[in-house]
Amino acid sequence: LAAFDVDPRFEVNLFASEEEFPDIACPIQMRWDSQGRLWVSCSTTYPHVYPGQAPADKLVILEDTDGDGKA
């Protein structure tokens, strides 16, 4: 996060990490919903899906349940 060049009017914080949530390895897309949850689609095979290889895609829903700004 320290390497980001962010406008001083904004702040960047870590909401969730792969260390805390190993299921979010290889995220390809994410979106916040109206309830403040972060939906993350993950795929260990995209974009190189090979014939016969079973997909291991996941949709992970992350939520701040205690108001600390982290999932």
What are the pLDDT digits (tens) for 20-65?
Answer: 999 998 999 999 999 999 999 999 888 888 888 888 899 999 999 9
Residue 1 lies in a domain: no
pTM above 0.85, yes or no: no
Residue 3 lies in a domain: no
pLDDT of residue 49: 83
Residue 71 lies in a domain: no
Containing structural domain, residue 56? 22-62
Instruction: Please give the C-alpha separations between residue 49 and each of 28, 43, 46, in angstroms, as whole numbers.
Output: 14, 10, 6
pLDDT of residue 53: 84
Is residue 2 classed as helix, strand or coil in its secondary structure? coil
Instruction: Please give the C-alpha separations between residue 40 and each of 7, 16, 58, in angstroms, as whole numbers.
Output: 25, 11, 8
Identify the bridge partners of residue 32 per DSSP, sorted by sequence position.
38
Residue 43 lies in a domain: yes
